A and B are shown apart, each in its own frame.
Chain A
């Protein structure tokens, strides 16, 4: 990820209104070159609408959108962007191979690339079968193959693991990580928090059409802590404060929360034991993205009600 380079996707104040319904409400979003960006939100939050705008399928009501330095839908921008928006849509009477052949014709991509992407998504064996006979997972993989056909700089994938079995999900996540490690920029929407946590460098959280957070995954999860259950508790707190410094140890319910890296757990344990303190529990804790997501989205809902 290149944090100093110009963003590949830059969205400011994006709004999309359908009649009385505000599908996207003033969204700001920035995707940097080479990063895997997770666009996270519950169903109906506005993720797909935003991605449709980025690919030029729908026009925004207001706001500014720049993709790869141009406007969404421009031939040059589309030629450098691969996307799979919502469910993969192909011609059911054509084989997977023929579907890719015609997309290659539209996109002016050499035919050799078709074999490469079929291998990449492990669909070469069934490429000559009709699309209508594919399982949901195979359709999804064909959608990803189509997105990669243009060897794009920017890959936009809308819930790419939908319908995949656990092995398929694992393979898809590995593929997305590989895309990121190849230096491609990936914008991935998902409502699966674990998926985003595993794959993405940065994450944007959208709820009810509004962006509620945009951070590095690690920043969003905050500092890691050690949870210590020891007796006597007050003595343990003073021993650890003296060892680690002021402000690092807090009482929380009947445990101590110690702000140190988890790899110092053994050290903390040794200090306590040497001070004659009985340690009954010691583990590291970090906030899962899921906790943060629910914190952010429910506080947003509470604010709406208020």
Chain B
């Protein structure tokens, strides 16, 4: 298993698409978490971008005390979509390149190979989360130093809880991409379907249900995106008014955590079951 894990890490480490996705997530986090708010802050209250939001509050949102908000606030939607793409290209690529037959005719069994792939993906997502956190932390330190802001940080346990929650959200979407790739033995279709689901369908469903069919919120509250947003809401200090798209308190943090774990187990289990039973042609 250790050998398979090392092999999977080698594949991920040397694949430029993995780092392009990470770079996209990092840049988007910094643009929406720091660059645009800072531009709004420095250009004053007359700027439409900060209309109605006091400058002090804008600055407060960029200081180290809010580093978790800016690190994982975008995970339920856009970083989640990137994680789904990661899962789809890594697992789907084995089918489109035909490399699955090459690795399955080595020593390890199918379950071992898939487990190693999921562990490596989990490791890469740790790198993503920590990378975005470090970049966000550096930005917040820089802004605090430049604007004479507070240097107080969230407690270590809060940080750990927040980063772990962010990791779980991305891992869930990554496994969703992986199971779609296994189902379709492809890369493009899983990415298309998954991204449309994350960016469009879940939001649409939530809007329709809340406005027209409120009794059906039990369904939308069980969806992966809703629970991802609720977990991020629970582990950060974001208020409902400041919450980025997809982050809301639809369900409690505990329930969201449990639901995401169930989704992870479900996606991984489905992928393993299908891979074990399937003819590799």
Q: Indicate if B279 sits at the interface (CB-CB under 8 A).
A: yes
* Pair A108/B3 contact, Cβ less than 8 Å: yes
Q: Indicate if B57 sits at the interface (CB-CB under 8 A).
A: no
User: With contacts A58-B279, A93-B14 known, is A106 near B7, CB below 8 A?
Assistant: yes
Q: Indicate if B281 sits at the interface (CB-CB under 8 A).
A: yes
Q: Indicate if A202 sits at the interface (CB-CB under 8 A).
A: no
Contact indicator per residue, chain A 77-106, by CB within 8 Å of chain B (1) or not (0): 011010101111111111000100111011
User: With contacts A93-B15, A102-B11 known, is A108 near B107, CB below 8 A?
Assistant: yes
* Pair A58/B280 contact, Cβ less than 8 Å: yes
Tell me which of B60-68, B97-105, B178-186, B202-210 binds A: B97-105
With the chains together, A107 CA to B109 CA distance in Å?
A: 11
User: With contacts A90-B102, A93-B14, A98-B10 known, is A106 near B107, CB below 8 A?
Assistant: yes
* Pair A102/B10 contact, Cβ less than 8 Å: yes
With the chains together, A78 CA to B280 CA distance in Å?
A: 15
Q: Indicate if B4 sits at the interface (CB-CB under 8 A).
A: yes
Q: Indicate if B269 sits at the interface (CB-CB under 8 A).
A: no
Interface size on A, residues (CB 8 A): 32
Q: Indicate if A271 sits at the interface (CB-CB under 8 A).
A: no
* Pair A79/B99 contact, Cβ less than 8 Å: no
With the chains together, A90 CA to B103 CA distance in Å?
A: 9
* Pair B4/A103 contact, Cβ less than 8 Å: no
Q: Which of B97, B102, B280, B281 contacts A103 (CB 8 A)?
A: B102
* Pair A103/B106 contact, Cβ less than 8 Å: yes
Chain A interface, >50% SS class:
loop
* Pair A105/B7 contact, Cβ less than 8 Å: yes
Name which residue of chain A comes closest to B102, CB basis. Answer: A89
With the chains together, A102 CA to B11 CA distance in Å?
A: 8
With the chains together, A80 CA to B108 CA distance in Å?
A: 12
Residues in B whose Cβ lies below 8 Å from that of A193: none
With the chains together, A93 CA to B13 CA distance in Å?
A: 11
Q: Indicate if A47 sits at the interface (CB-CB under 8 A).
A: no
What's the nearest-Cβ distance from chain A to residue B106, in Å?
A: 4
Interface size on B, residues (CB 8 A): 25
* Pair B97/A91 contact, Cβ less than 8 Å: yes
Q: Indicate if B6 sits at the interface (CB-CB under 8 A).
A: yes
What's the nearest-Cβ distance from chain A to residue B28, in Å?
A: 24
Q: Indicate if A55 sits at the interface (CB-CB under 8 A).
A: yes
What's the nearest-Cβ distance from chain B to residue A44, in Å?
A: 14
* Pair B281/A107 contact, Cβ less than 8 Å: no
Q: Indicate if A279 sits at the interface (CB-CB under 8 A).
A: no
Q: Indicate if A169 sits at the interface (CB-CB under 8 A).
A: no
Residues in A whose Cβ lies below 8 Å from that of B3: 105-108
Residues in A whose Cβ lies below 8 Å from that of B102: 88-90, 103, 146
What's the nearest-Cβ distance from chain A to residue B62, in Å?
A: 38
What's the nearest-Cβ distance from chain B to residue A152, in Å?
A: 11
With the chains together, A108 CA to B6 CA distance in Å?
A: 11
With the chains together, A146 CA to B10 CA distance in Å?
A: 17
User: With contacts A52-B281, A90-B99 known, is A85 near B15, CB below 8 A?
Assistant: no
Most buried by A among B15, B99, B107, B108: B107
With the chains together, A92 CA to B104 CA distance in Å?
A: 18
Residues in B whose Cβ lies below 8 Å from that of A107: 3, 106-107
Q: Which of B14, B109, B279 contacts A75 (CB 8 A)?
A: B109
Name which residue of chain A comes closest to B16, CB basis. Answer: A93
User: With contacts A87-B98, A106-B103 known, is A52 near B280, CB below 8 A?
Assistant: yes
Q: Which of B14, B15, B107, B281 contacts A78 (CB 8 A)?
A: B107
Residues in A whose Cβ lies below 8 Å from that of B98: 86-87, 89
Residues in B whose Cβ lies below 8 Å from that of A75: 107-109
* Pair B101/A105 contact, Cβ less than 8 Å: no
* Pair B105/A83 contact, Cβ less than 8 Å: yes
What's the nearest-Cβ distance from chain B to residue A100, in Å?
A: 11
* Pair B11/A78 contact, Cβ less than 8 Å: no
* Pair B10/A85 contact, Cβ less than 8 Å: no
What's the nearest-Cβ distance from chain B to residue A150, in Å?
A: 8
Residues in B whose Cβ lies below 8 Å from that of A175: none
Q: Which of B4, B99, B108 contacts A91 (CB 8 A)?
A: B99
Residues in A whose Cβ lies below 8 Å from that of B16: 93
